[in-house]
């Protein structure tokens, strides 16, 4: 507060300044009195708890601006502090201001203070004014606020819980959710729900629990304001109005106090589940008002009465029924309907089949229903609408039932089955309720011939649908005469028109049996249109396996049709059905087409009858057909298996049902099991198995052996013949002539050995095998001259000059180079079947021997020594001087000495024909038979000298040259 201080000094001498000072002081006092607004007085608080609104009123003088502070009394925390502009209530003269609390006002006490403000100048604060909450110590109960509150979806809501003195708060729950809590005072706790969602039937609970498990709570309903739609008013009695509407959404506000209340033109409407309101008079304009705790909504409608007529339901229905039609009569509740142009629907129901008939007329009260069937019960109901200004169909009347009168039956549907022996069945279908026209009392079947007068009639009871006929017993009907059967149905009203069928055995069998297509809708049959045929068709079907008095089924097809679908509940899977299409079934049935098919093919139920037999070395498997009833499908073929232990190995797949034989070849002796399985499109049957044991076939064996021997004999004869014819060539090739030496003198008397000189192409070096017998002479191969290598002559040649002698004794092993005295050489010699002579290199070129000199003993290292061939073999045809440089040097001095001392070989000029038997005499030489000594040489190298040596050599050579001798002996 501004204060002006002035010293009041009264001096006469200074009157002017004093005067100024007084004036300033007065001015200051005056200013001070104007800037300090008055303190608000008589502050009072009033609350509207339902809306959490606190109204504060006070006397504030002329001030219009106030500072307001609201505190939670107990904790002295501020919840509001602001400068407000309050208006003066003209009636009371008090300033008034409303404050809305976030929390319910019951939660805790609030203290209010106000001061006036005038610009920057403010008055003193008013005295504290307290609005008492429910958490006062005097109210010591467990409480929850607010209670039973209804709020709109999406609102925020704060609840508080005031616990009892001395009790401890535990938690607050919304449903099963524990909420965050704010403490408002010592005993008060609050929680806020944000953006609340619609609640269920009985609202949502907010529960406050204490530590001692005691609890309190509040129920909250969250929903929507009303939203009606489709509000219309109409009339039924042509006088009053009945208004209807719908609710576009659920308000979610349940309970009598919260439900939406409706009024039309300010008249309350008691609605339950039907949102309808009745008004006694037709106002022409209507306003619907819907209201609930969260708001209200209104809708309007207006219309003329004649445009909104929804007729009432006809009453007191009755009928006048005939056999084929009936008149239905009804009455109207209101006489005003007699002049109303009406459009009416009559719904008739017969055997769950409904038919709607429509009629129109002024004040319509009766209609005639046609198209009914005799002896049938009908149920009818009627409803009408305004014909001129149709608004809505009226309500359906109560149903009314009546029964039509009886009439004579329709003619029956008759067909026949004839056996080959002129017996058969006349069959007809049961008449349904639309055909019998009353209870059937019996049937009358007549057999007759158009040419004769005589008829055979049988009376049959009801529920008979076939009769057996035997045309052979009816003499008058004759064998070749045309016979008809006529069937008449009788009921209480009379007899039906007759139905006839010609009795004739139709034995035609079409060439081709088609397979019909079966779908869920049945067998689909189609055929070509025959332009000449003007009759109806009849499709007959039966189990194919049936042959006598078969229970046929049939269906009639209109002329000109080309397809039909056959449906029957009696079709069974695995059963083959015959479908036959006949034309003109009532006069002269002609078979047009026939089908065979299955609804579903199955695997055969029986296996084939199987037999197996052996035929020579083959096995012939044959089997028979499966009976038709057991096939259960079209047999597509057979699988032939052979049992391989526990498994079956497929031998053959015969993809034709006609092939029922299979031959298995190439089986050896033993026991075999064969299985044959037929198969349909559904798969294989279990199969039939038969076994057979194959015995050894001795005759064939002998024949085979004889055949083989004969073949060998013929071959030998051919070879012998060829050899004989080509003996010259053979001789040249294998046994060239050795020219006889031409001696100048008489050599015949000489007893000594011939001085045979070795061929210049071959050098034979007789060696001794020291391991065995050092006294024995051995032939040692001498390497050929280099010139022969250079000549590169062919290895094999037919010319005797180049005939090569080689050792064949050592099996097939490659010829190894041998050197006199080398252990390898010796070993090889040992292998040669005790042959002491190694003929390698005799008259051969060096290339044929693959013979390499020992490097150690090569001519490069040691000077070649001249070997003297004193006793060597010298073919006389090609005398040639051995050059020095082709002499093989022997490293074995012993052999050398032996060679030197050798007297050489002499040709066996006068040898005798040997036979292998001769070798037996010298057992020690037997192993030499077939030894390499049998090389195809007719020249035998006989050691010169004693008889022992001859004996040793001769047997081997004799054995080897036995065939050569044979050739020689045949030399011309």
Partner 1 sequence: MADRRTRSMKSSNLSRTAVNRASMIALQLQGESSKLLELYRQKESFPADVTDGRLVSVPPPSSQLDTRDKLWRLHSALLQTQSLLERAITKEEEELGGGIKGEYENQRKTVKGRLSFLLLTTGNLLKAVDGAASLTPSLEGLELDGPTTLFQLKLWLLQVFSEVHHWSRAAVTTLQELLTNAADKQSSTTRVRSTRSARR
Q: Is 12 exposed, middle or buried (0-12, 13-18, 19+ CB in 10 A)?
A: exposed
Tokens describing residue 844: 């051969």
Minimum Å distance from CB 169 to partner 1? 16
Minimum Å distance from CB 201 to partner 1? 4
Minimum Å distance from CB 222 to partner 1? 14
Nearer to partner 1, 93 or 166 (CB): 166
List 176, 274, 668, 823, residue binding partner 1 (CB under 8 A): 176
Minimum Å distance from CB 171 to partner 1? 10
Nearer to partner 1, 200 or 510 (CB): 200
Instruction: Work out whether strand 215-223 and strand 149-152 pair parallel, antiparallel, or are unpaired.
Output: parallel
Q: Is 881 exposed, middle or buried (0-12, 13-18, 19+ CB in 10 A)?
A: exposed
Nearer to partner 1, 252 or 422 (CB): 252
Show the binding pattern over residues 142-161: x = contacts partner 1 (CB under 8 A), - = does not.
--x--xx-------------
List 249, 257, 388, 878, residue binding partner 1 (CB under 8 A): 257
Minimum Å distance from CB 107 to partner 1? 16
Cα 648 to Cα 671: distance, rounded to the nearest angstrom:
15
Tokens describing residue 18: 């004093």
Other Cβ atoms closer than 10 A to 735 = 23
List 88, 136, 210, 215, residue binding partner 1 (CB under 8 A): 215
Minimum Å distance from CB 46 to partner 1? 24
Tell me, by CB under 8 A, how many residues bind partner 1: 25
50 binds partner 1 (CB under 8 A): no
Partners of 884 in the β-ladder = none
Minimum Å distance from CB 61 to partner 1? 44
Stretch that binds partner 1, among 172-180, 188-196, 708-716, 890-898 (CB under 8 A): 172-180
CB-based contact 160:145 (threshold 8 Å): yes
Stretch that binds partner 1, among 205-213, 276-284, 528-536, 598-606 (CB under 8 A): 205-213
Stretch that binds partner 1, among 210-218, 280-288, 380-388, 492-500 (CB under 8 A): 210-218
Cα 258 to Cα 268: distance, rounded to the nearest angstrom:
16
Other Cβ atoms closer than 10 A to 839 = 25
453 binds partner 1 (CB under 8 A): no
CB-based contact 639:679 (threshold 8 Å): yes
121 binds partner 1 (CB under 8 A): no
- The dihedral over CA atoms of 392, 396, 397, 401, expressed in degrees to the nearest 10, equals 140
Nearer to partner 1, 272 or 352 (CB): 272
The angle formed by the CA atoms of residues 440, 445 and 446, to the nearest 5 degrees, is 145
Minimum Å distance from CB 210 to partner 1? 11
207 binds partner 1 (CB under 8 A): yes
214 binds partner 1 (CB under 8 A): yes
218 binds partner 1 (CB under 8 A): yes
Cα 901 to Cα 889: distance, rounded to the nearest angstrom:
16
Using alpha carbons, list the distances in angstroms from residue 436 to 349, 426, 429: 19, 19, 11
Tokens describing residue 766: 């007789």
Closest by Cα among 283, 280, 287, 282 to 245? 287
Stretch that binds partner 1, among 204-212, 570-578, 741-749, 904-912 (CB under 8 A): 204-212
Nearer to partner 1, 205 or 689 (CB): 205
Minimum Å distance from CB 351 to partner 1? 36
Cα 265 to Cα 285: distance, rounded to the nearest angstrom:
8
List 25, 140, 254, 859, residue binding partner 1 (CB under 8 A): 254
List 217, 516, 574, 687, residue binding partner 1 (CB under 8 A): 217
Residues 270-299 that bind partner 1 (CB under 8 A): 273
CB-based contact 387:419 (threshold 8 Å): no
175 binds partner 1 (CB under 8 A): yes
Q: What sign results for the dihedral spanned by CA atoms 233, 234, 235, 236?
A: negative
Minimum Å distance from CB 331 to partner 1? 37
Edge-first strand listing for the sheet containing 157-162:
143-145, 157-162, 188-193, 182-183
Write 697-704 long-range contacts (CB < 8 A, 24+): 697/616, 697/617, 700/616, 700/617
Stretch that binds partner 1, among 217-225, 469-477, 716-724, 872-880 (CB under 8 A): 217-225
Contact residues toward partner 1 (CB under 8 A) are 144, 147-148, 173, 175-176, 200-203, 205, 207, 209, 213-219, 254-257, 273
């Amino acid at each position: 507060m501004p204060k002006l201080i002035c010293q009041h000094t009264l001096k006469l001498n200074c009157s002017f300044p004093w005067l100024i000072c007084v004036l300033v002081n007065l001015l200051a006092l005056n200013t001070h009195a104007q800037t300090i607004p008055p303190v608000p007085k008589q502050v009072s608080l009033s609350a509207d708890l339902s809306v959490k609104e606190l109204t504060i009123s006070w006397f504030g003088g002329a001030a219009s601006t106030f500072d307001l502070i609201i505190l939670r009394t107990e904790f002295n925390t501020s919840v509001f502090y602001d400068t407000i502009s309050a208006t003066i209530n003209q009636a009371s003269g008090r300033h008034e201001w409303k404050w809305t609390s976030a929390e319910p006002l019951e939660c805790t006490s609030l203290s209010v203070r106000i001061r006036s403000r005038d610009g920057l100048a403010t008055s003193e604060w008013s005295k504290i004014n307290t609005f008492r909450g429910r958490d006062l110590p005097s109210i010591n109960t467990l409480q929850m606020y607010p209670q039973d509150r209804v709020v709109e979806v999406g609102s925020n809501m704060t609840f508080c819980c005031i616990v009892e003195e001395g009790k401890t708060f535990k938690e607050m729950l919304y449903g099963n959710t524990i909420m965050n809590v704010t403490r408002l005072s010592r005993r008060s706790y609050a929680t806020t729900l944000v953006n609340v969602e619609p609640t269920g039937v009985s609202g949502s609970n907010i529960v406050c629990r204490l530590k001692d498990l005691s609890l309190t709570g509040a129920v909250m309903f969250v929903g929507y304001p009303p939203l009606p739609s489709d509000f219309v008013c109409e009339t039924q009695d042509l006088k009053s109005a009945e208004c209807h509407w719908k609710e576009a959404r659920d308000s979610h506000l349940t309970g009598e106090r919260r439900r939406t209340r409706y009024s039309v033109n300010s008249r309350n409407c008691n609605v339950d589940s039907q949102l309808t309101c009745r008004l006694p008079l037709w106002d022409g304009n209507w306003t619907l008002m819907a209201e609930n705790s969260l708001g209200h909504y209104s809708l309007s409608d207006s219309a003329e009465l004649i445009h909104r007529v929804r007729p009432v339901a006809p009453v007191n229905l009755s009928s006048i029924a005939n056999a084929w039609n009936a008149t239905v009569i009804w009455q109207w509740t209101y006489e005003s309907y007699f002049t109303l142009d009406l459009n009416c629907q009559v719904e008739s129901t017969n055997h769950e089949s409904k038919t709607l008939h429509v009629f129109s007329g002024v004040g319509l009260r009766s209609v005639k229903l046609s198209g009914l069937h005799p002896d049938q019960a009908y149920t009818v109901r009627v409803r009408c609408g305004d014909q001129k200004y149709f608004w809505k169909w009226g309500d359906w009347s109560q149903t009314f039932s009546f029964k039509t009168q009886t009439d004579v039956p329709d003619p029956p549907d008759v067909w026949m089955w004839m056996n080959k022996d002129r017996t058969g069945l006349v069959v007809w279908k049961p008449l349904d309720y639309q055909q019998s026209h009353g209870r059937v009392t019996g049937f009358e079947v007549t057999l007759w011939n158009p040419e004769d007068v005589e008829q055979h009639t049988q009376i049959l009871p009801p529920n008979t649908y076939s009769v057996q006929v035997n045309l052979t017993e009816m003499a008058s009907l004759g064998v070749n005469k045309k016979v008809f059967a006529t069937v008449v149905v009788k009921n209480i009203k009379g007899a039906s028109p007759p139905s006839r069928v010609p009795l004739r055995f139709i034995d035609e069998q079409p060439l081709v049996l088609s397979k019909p297509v079966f779908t869920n809708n049945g067998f689909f049959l189609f055929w070509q249109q025959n332009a000449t045929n003007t009759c109806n068709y009849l499709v007959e079907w039966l189990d194919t396996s049936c042959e006598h008095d078969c229970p046929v089924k049939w269906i009639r097809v209109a002329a000109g049709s080309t397809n039909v679908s056959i449906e029957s509940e009696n079709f069974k899977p695995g059963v083959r059905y015959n479908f036959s299409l006949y034309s003109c079934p009532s006069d002269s049935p002609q078979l047009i087409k026939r089908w065979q098919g299955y609804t579903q093919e199955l695997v055969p139920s029986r296996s084939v009858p199987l037999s197996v037999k052996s035929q020579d070395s083959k096995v012939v498997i044959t089997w028979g057909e499966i009976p038709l009833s057991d096939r259960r499908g079209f047999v597509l073929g057979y699988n032939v298996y052979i049992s391989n232990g526990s498994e079956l190995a497929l031998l053959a797949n015969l993809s034709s049902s006609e092939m029922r034989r299979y031959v298995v070849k190439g089986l050896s002796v033993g026991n075999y099991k064969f299985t044959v399985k037929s198969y349909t499109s559904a798969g294989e049957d279990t199969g039939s198995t038969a076994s057979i044991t194959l015995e050894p076939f001795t005759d064939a064996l002998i024949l085979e052996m004889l055949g083989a021997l004969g073949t060998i004999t013929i071959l030998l004869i051919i070879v012998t013949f060829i050899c004989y014819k080509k003996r010259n060539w053979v001789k040249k090739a294998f046994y060239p002539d050795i020219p006889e030496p031409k001696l100048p003198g008489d050599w015949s008397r000489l007893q000594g050995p011939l001085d045979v000189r070795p061929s210049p192409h071959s050098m034979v070096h007789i060696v001794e095998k020291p391991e065995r017998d050092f006294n024995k002479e051995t032939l040692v191969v001498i390497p050929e001259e280099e010139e022969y290598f250079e000549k590169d002559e062919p290895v094999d040649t037919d010319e005797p000059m180049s005939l090569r002698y080689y050792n064949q004794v050592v099996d097939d092993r490659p010829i190894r180079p041998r050197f006199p005295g080398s252990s390898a050489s010796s070993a090889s010699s040992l292998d040669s079947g005790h042959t002491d002579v190694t003929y390698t290199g005799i008259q051969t070129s060096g290339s044929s021997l693959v013979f390499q000199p020992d490097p150690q003993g090569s001519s490069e290292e040691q000077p070649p020594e001249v070997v003297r061939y004193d006793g060597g073999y010298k073919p006389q045809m090609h005398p040639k001087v051995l050059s020095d440089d082709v002499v093989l040097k022997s490293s074995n001095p012993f052999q050398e000495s032996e060679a030197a001392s050798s007297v050489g070989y002499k040709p066996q000029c006068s040898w005798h024909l040997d036979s292998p038997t001769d070798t037996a005499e010298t057992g020690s030489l037997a192993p030499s038979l077939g030894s390499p000594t049998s090389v195809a040489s007719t020249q035998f190298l006989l050691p010169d000298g004693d008889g022992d040596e001859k004996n040793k050599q001769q047997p081997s050579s004799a054995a080897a040259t036995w065939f050569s001798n044979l050739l020689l002996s045949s030399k011309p």
